[in-house]
């Protein structure tokens, strides 16, 4: 039962990380498609969270979620 719950928690974290990355990609595309493209700037906390999200996705792709 504990492993089942942990797998669900890891799946939710994976989905949240994926949505976070998609949100930043969408923001980047919107800014690039503007008539006068602006520089894509994100705050320090958002940058840390984006880095964590990307690293978690890459780690999950290569190793999977193994309990």
Quick one: what percent of the chain has pLDDT higher than 70?
96
**DSSP secondary-structure letter at 61?**
H
- Asked if 2 and 67 touch (Cβ cutoff 8 Å), the reply is no
Q: What pLDDT does 22 receive?
A: 96
pTM above 0.75, yes or no: yes
Report whether pLDDT(3) > 90.
Answer: no
Query: Cβ distance 2 to 38 under 8 Å?
Result: no
For residues 30 and 39, give the distance between their C-alpha atoms in angstroms, rounded to a whole number. 11
What does the domain layout of the chain look like in residue ranges?
2-63
């Amino acid at each position: 039962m504990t492993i089942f719950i942990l797998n669900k928690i890891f799946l939710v974290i994976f989905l949240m990380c994926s949505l976070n990355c998609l949100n930043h990609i969408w923001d980047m595309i919107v800014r690039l498609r503007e008539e006068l493209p602006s520089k894509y700037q994100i705050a320090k906390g958002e940058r840390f969270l984006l880095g964590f999200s990307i690293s978690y996705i890459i780690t999950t792709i290569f190793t999977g979620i193994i309990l």
